[in-house]
Copies of this chain bind each other. A is one copy, B any other.
Amino acid sequence: MFKAVVSIRLRPSILDPQGKAVMHALSNLGFGAIAEARIGKLIELSVEADSAEEARSVATSACEKLLANPVMEDFEIDVEALEPAV
C-alpha cells in the first residue's frame, strides 16, 4: 500500500480569486509581511500497488482523468510506502 500525495496548484498565469480573498483577510489581520497567497489542493490517495512506480502511475492517471484541470492547473505527486495494516 502506498500513499500518493498529490499537490495541485493553479498555473502561475491563472488569476486566483480565493488567494486574493485570503490575502485581503491577512492584510486586515495585520500580516503585512505576506505579499501573496495562492490556494491549491492537496489530495492524499491510498493506492494498492506492487511498487512505488505503479502507485505513481495510478495517481498520475487519476490526476489526468479527474483530479486536475489540465488547462488551469499543474500537479505534482509524491509517493511514499505505507506500512501494511496488520
Taking a contact as CB atoms under 8 Å apart, the answer to whether A42 and B1 are in contact is no
Q: What is the copy number of this chain in the assembly?
A: 2
Taking a contact as CB atoms under 8 Å apart, the answer to whether B35 and A65 are in contact is no
Taking a contact as CB atoms under 8 Å apart, the answer to whether A40 and B39 are in contact is no
Question: Per-residue CB proximity of A3-16 to B under 8 Å, as 1/0?
Answer: 00001110000000
Taking a contact as CB atoms under 8 Å apart, the answer to whether A7 and B42 are in contact is yes
Taking a contact as CB atoms under 8 Å apart, the answer to whether B58 and A25 are in contact is no
A-side interface residues, number (CB < 8 Å): 32
Taking a contact as CB atoms under 8 Å apart, the answer to whether B41 and A42 are in contact is yes
Report if A86 contacts B (CB, 8 A): no
Please report which residues of chain A, range 25-64, place their CB below 8 angstroms from some CB of chain B when the two chains form the complex: 25-26, 29, 31, 33-49, 58, 61-62
